[in-house]
DNA sequence: CACACGATTGTCT
DNA sequence: GACAATCGTGTGT
């Protein structure tokens, strides 16, 4: 279990970075359907990415889960991730899926039901910032990446993470 | 049927 | 910083 600390929104065809803008068949059709369902795809044929279908009534889109702060089951995560440092367990969309054991098989799962994989509201984020999305070339100007400020568990991104974490650490040192 | 292209990550220089 | 790994989908011939 973990706290979601970083997400990205992908919209309808007006958002050129969204799969809904260039794919018309296969798994992507899920993002045209009911909200709360898992849209899972592979990136570069290797890494698994988990999205929650989310959009206005009659709309299209989804939320990509990019990073989480591990809360429970760290031993299992460490095994699945091959013994990397704890800060790297879930700090990326592919890493998160590997740590939580999410596979393509989970595509179509109802994430609002507490079964194998689900999303609840028990661990709200502290301070949310918005910025440009990562790893895309089109529609980069849209501020659709949301992350918890100061969290050391967000993905690499633009390098802001390391900086903010250092500032945070320095602030703690001053208080101590 | 033959390409090109990613919502990434780990490794090597 | 550069680069390979790897596969479903779209486009072109």
pLDDT tens digits, A32-88: 999 999 999 999 999 999 999 999 999 999 999 999 999 999 999 999 999 999 999
State CA A4 to chain mean position distance: 7
Which one has a higher pLDDT value, A76 or A122? A76
Q: Which segments within chain A are labelled E, that is strand? A: 2-10, 38-43, 47-53, 62-70, 128-131, 145-148
Query: pLDDT grade, residue A150 (50/70/90)?
Result: confident
- Measuring alpha carbon to C1', the residue closest to nucleotide C7 is A45
Give the pLDDT confidence score for residue A174 in this predicted structure.
46
A25 C-beta less than 7 Å away from strand C: yes
Residue with tokens 């529609």: A139
Q: Is the CB of A95 under 7 A from strand B?
A: yes
Q: Is the CB of A26 under 7 A from strand B?
A: no
Q: Which residues of A135-158 are buried (b: 16+ CB within 10 A; e: fewer)?
A: ebeebeebebbbbbebbbbbbebe
A171 CA to B9 C1' distance (Å): 31
Q: Say what the pTM is.
A: 0.90
């Amino acid at each position: 279990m973990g706290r979601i600390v970083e997400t990205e929104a992908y919209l309808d065809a007006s958002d050129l970075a969204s799969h809904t803008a260039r794919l018309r068949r296969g798994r992507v059709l899920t993002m045209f359907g009911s909200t709360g369902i898992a849209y899972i795809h592979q990136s570069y044929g290797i890494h698994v990415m988990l999205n929650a279908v989310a959009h206005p009534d009659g709309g299209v889109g989804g939320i990509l889960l990019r990073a989480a702060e591990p809360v429970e089951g760290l031993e299992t995560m460490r095994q699945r991730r091959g013994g990397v440092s704890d800060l790297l367990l879930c700090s990326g969309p592919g890493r998160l899926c590997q740590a939580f054991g999410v596979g393509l098989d989970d595509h179509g799962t109802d994430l609002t039901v507490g079964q194998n994989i689900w999303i609840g509201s028990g661990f709200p984020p502290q301070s949310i910032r918005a910025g440009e999305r990562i790893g895309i070339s089109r529609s980069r100007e849209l501020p659709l990446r949301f992350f918890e400020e100061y969290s050391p568990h967000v993905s690499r991104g633009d390098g802001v993470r390391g900086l903010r974490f250092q500032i945070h650490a320095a602030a703690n040192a001053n208080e101590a």
